[in-house]
Amino acid sequence: DAGITQSPRYKITETGRQVTLMCHQTWSHSYMFWYRQDLGHGLRLIYYSAAADITDKGEVPDGYVVSRSKTENFPLTLESATRSQTSVYFCASSVGGIVGGEQYFGPGTRLTVT
């Protein structure tokens, strides 16, 4: 599990600020995903990427921006943070998407927007 890491693990920011959450994996997995986890909603997909320079929207993409210039990194940026984006964010990766099987999750980033 040390193959996928997230930073920072905890972040407090103010409304309106830009914040970037980092995700790094060492397995050279093609697919990477960003989820948010909120009580009562389970895990919801924000964005995913099938390969470097290929990204697509998930269920709740509004207010978020992603990029993937390198296979191993998949940063998530909140361009202007809002209180509703207070959540736990999980990054995940997999060899080949759903067909490729298991998604491996990172340890999560707890973000609080004040």
| 58 versus 63: smaller Cβ distance to other proteins | 58
Note whether 53 and 69 are within 8 A (CB): yes
| 85 versus 90: smaller Cβ distance to other proteins | 90
Q: How far is the CB of 101 from other proteins (least distance, A)?
A: 8
Binding site for other proteins (CB under 8 A): 1, 31, 33, 40-45, 48, 50, 56, 58-59, 90, 97-99, 101-103, 105-108
Helix (H, G, I), strand (E, B) or coil at 99: helix
| 78 versus 91: smaller Cβ distance to other proteins | 91
CA 76, CA 64: separation in Å to the nearest integer? Answer: 7
Q: How far is the CB of 33 from other proteins (least distance, A)?
A: 8
Q: Which helix (H) or strand (E) holds 97?
A: helix 97-100
Note whether 72 and 24 are within 8 A (CB): yes
